[in-house]
Amino acid sequence: MVHNLFEYLDSIRARDPAPRSRWEVLLYPGVLALGLHRVSHWLYGGGLYFAARLVNHTSRWMTGIDIHPGAVIGRHLFIDHGFVTIGETAEIGDNVTIYPCVTLGGTNPTNGVAGKRHPTLRNDVIVGSGAQILGPIVVGERARIGANAVVTDDVPEGATMVGFKARSTLVPVEEWLREFVPYGTPCKEPCEPGPNRVEELEQQLADLKAELELLRTMVDRAETEVGELRHGEAGG
């Protein structure tokens, strides 16, 4: 048991350079919330729903993290800071990292998926701050959900999702960074528009400026000709 605890604390230190020791990690609200969730989930599985909810509400009051007792959570979940909501039928794999203000939310059960209303996160997923993952969708292994992304469709394994509604960058994680991605949000190439696209846009802008200048010249010439014509008529 102690070995498993140390392994868990070390897994958080590997993803967060802030703590100077394992004992400091024990003070993290995400660690406390997960520990209390283990208790509430055990009570929930035994049919002690009120007791499970009591533990759940106590945990939310203490940590700002709301994990429904029915949620299924694997090993080494790291909730960095707080204000996270995880719904009843959510399923979370191993080594998942969730940053602040994330919601694993549910949809109406009349969507054809009986009972399952919340997302499933496979192993090694990273969810950036403010992301909303909604409905009974599956986020594939090693996927990254960028900050403030809104995800309502299945996410392929290894994809990086950004935006509202979230779109894939179409760049597999392994091609640009094999290790941990803080906040699940790529900040550099190749997830930003490539240089060829930038050059193409710059050329289009130059062409438009040239056309605008030509139009201005034509207008000035026409105005000059009209002025000369009127002056000639007045003189005649």
pLDDT digits (tens, 9 = 90+) for 25-64: 999 999 999 999 999 999 999 999 999 999 999 999 999 9
Is the previous residue joined to 69 through a cis bond, with omega within 30 degrees of 0? no
Tokens 């060829």 correspond to 196
CB-facing half-sphere around the CA of 60: CA atoms within 13 A = 14
Helix (H) or strand (E) holding 121: strand 120-121
pLDDT tens per residue across span 170-193 = 555 555 455 666 666 665 555 555
* The model scores a pTM over 0.85: no
Is the distance from CB of 236 to CB of 229 less than 8 angstroms? no
Integer-rounded Cα Rg, in Å, for the chain is 28
Angle in degrees, 0-180, between the axes of helices 29-45 and 2-15, rounded to the nearest 10: 130
Does pLDDT of 95 surpass 90? yes
Domain parsing of the chain, residue ranges = 2-184, 193-236
The mean of the pLDDT values for the chain is 86
Is CATH 2.160.10.10 the right assignment for the domain spanning 2-184?
yes
Cβ contacts of 92 within 8 Å, gap of 6 or more: 71, 72, 73, 74, 77, 86, 104, 120, 121
**pLDDT value at position 182?**
65
| Tokens encoding 167 | 């779109």
Does pLDDT of 112 surpass 60? no
pLDDT tens per residue across span 65-76 = 999 999 999 999
| Tokens encoding 164 | 């509202």
Nearest 10 degrees: Cα torsion 180, 186, 189, 193: 160
